[in-house]
């Protein structure tokens, strides 16, 4: 079963490369056949990746264990979530060009997940602390991680869209005629994409945070709220809630709110780095 999981993983990787090539060809020379090929290949690759993840988990369960959410496994999970974000952008929000840009990133994450080294122990834990492996074996914690990863993915997509808005606004003001400026949609469409993606991603992120906080309270973790990762997670929440409130009330310009979204994205990136580098605290993951 484990061997079949590996075969399906690399099959999914190859099909994602095919989809990326089809989308790239469609971007350079738009053609209905290229677009359809990319979409069909993406669905097939996602199904193969889903089957690979399921078989890997089943194989670990047969041996009496569970799949550890290590750095490499988290990258695979992020890749899987990015394809869900592609489906959302393409078929729900109707922004297929933005969605297609996520497929090469998915393939890249899958490749990196196979070459990064894994670590067998988490340094800095006190002898009496609950080990990361036992925490991650809980379906409760696994759901928390999935929601946080998927929420982060959507929020970062919104941040990239906000950055594109800032560039498009600058290009219009400076009368730039670059290839990127010509390829971008109107400012209104970019702003609408940013708001929609963040509006979807933020509730998912909040649900993930709520599960994490509940878990910390249940296990009675000492000073869990003082963990730098928890503090930054709260900062992310405040930034994007403020962004949506300001957008709803239309009190600030679109340029100002776009900078706010970009700032939130920077905090997310810092949080993702700290979550894997700080060797202490209640909230340690991704370094097994």
Count of C-beta atoms within a 10 Å radius of residue 262:
17
pLDDT value of position 68: 62
Helix axes 139-174, 187-218, angle to 10 degrees: 160
pLDDT value of position 285: 43
Do residues 151 and 204 lie in contact, with contact meaning Cβ atoms separated by under 8 Å? yes
Do residues 41 and 20 lie in contact, with contact meaning Cβ atoms separated by under 8 Å? no
The number of C-alpha atoms within 13 Å of 202 and in the hemisphere containing its C-beta is 23
pLDDT value of position 227: 76
Which mean pLDDT values do the consecutive 10-residue runs of the chain (288 residues) have? Answer: 85 92 83 88 93 83 64 80 86 77 87 68 36 50 81 89 90 81 82 90 89 76 73 90 88 88 91 69 44
pLDDT value of position 14: 93
Task: Please report the sign of the dihedral spanned by the C-alpha atoms of residue 38, residue 22, residue 114, residue 86.
Answer: negative
What angle is formed at CA 152 by the lines to CA 119 and CA 79, rounded to 5 degrees?
60
pLDDT value of position 121: 37
pLDDT value of position 262: 93
pLDDT value of position 237: 92
At the topology level, CATH places domain 1-118 in 1.20.120
pLDDT value of position 127: 36
How far apart CA 173 and CA 224 sit, in angstroms, is 47
Tell me the pTM.
0.69
**What are the domain boundaries of the chain?**
1-118, 120-288
pLDDT value of position 281: 55
């Amino acid at each position: 079963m484990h061997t079949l999981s590996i075969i399906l993983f690399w099959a999914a990787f190859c099909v994602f490369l095919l989809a990326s090539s089809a989308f790239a060809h469609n971007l350079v020379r738009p053609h209905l056949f290229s677009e359809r090929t990319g979409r069909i290949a993406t669905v097939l690759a996602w199904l193969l990746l889903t089957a690979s993840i399921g078989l890997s988990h089943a194989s670990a369960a047969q041996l009496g264990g569970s799949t550890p959410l290590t750095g490499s496994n988290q990258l695979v999970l992020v890749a899987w979530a990015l394809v869900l974000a592609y489906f959302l952008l393409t078929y729900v929000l109707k922004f297929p060009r933005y969605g297609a840009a996520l497929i090469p990133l998915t393939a890249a994450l899958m490749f990196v997940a196979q070459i990064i080294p894994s670590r067998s122990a988490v340094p800095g834990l006190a002898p009496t602390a609950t080990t990361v492996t036992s925490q991650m074996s809980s379906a409760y914690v696994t759901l928390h991680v999935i929601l946080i990863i998927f929420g982060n993915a959507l929020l970062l997509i919104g941040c990239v869209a906000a950055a594109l808005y800032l560039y498009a606004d600058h290009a219009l003001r400076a009368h730039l005629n670059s290839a990127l400026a010509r390829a971008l949609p109107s400012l209104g469409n970019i702003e609408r994409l940013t708001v929609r993606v963040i509006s979807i991603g933020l509730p998912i992120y909040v649900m993930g945070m709520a599960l994490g906080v509940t878990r910390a309270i249940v296990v009675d973790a000492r000073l869990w709220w003082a963990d730098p990762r928890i503090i930054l997670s709260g900062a992310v929440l405040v930034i994007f809630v403020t962004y949506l409130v300001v957008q709803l009330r239309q009190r600030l310009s679109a340029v100002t709110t776009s900078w706010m979204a970009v700032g939130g994205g920077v905090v997310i990136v810092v949080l993702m780095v700290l979550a894997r580098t700080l060797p202490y605290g209640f909230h340690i993951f991704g370094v097994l």
